[in-house]
Structure 1
């Protein structure tokens, strides 16, 4: 994998500096993840996100997995039956 592909999410995430200061070794910010999923308009799995953002390091994959689960727990994302994560705003959910 090229360095350009490997650092794709770092160039796109406007909150990278904040995440770096807060955690030392950053993972994609919540805001960036939400914006990206809303832009794509369809749920993406952890593997698909890692492939698109060039994340292959096991530590970074685990950090992203934990971030996605935390966002799901906090109601920012929803995970479908195919393990795809999507923005709650874009999922056309019916309360009830």
Structure 2
């Protein structure tokens, strides 16, 4: 249950980051709702995941998956560069998250 919560929290962190990017470009209420709502849901799910998993696992997974997801979203939604060094960095983050999962 804890892993499902933290994966979902990471997903909503990405939604919040996308909303923040969109809101920074144009101040519209739907973009503000994506921004605030995404981060709010993410923090709530993060909190509940701590009932099942240790903070030393939850926090790096949440940040790592959220960061990776935001970078992928920016590459595909906002046409940021898709360079090899950037993709290798993302692979390293994801390998680290999987490594933490395997320690449980």
More strand by share: 1
TM-score normalised by the chain length of structure 1: 0.31
- Higher Cα radius of gyration: 2
More helix by share: 2
TM-score normalised by the chain length of structure 2: 0.30
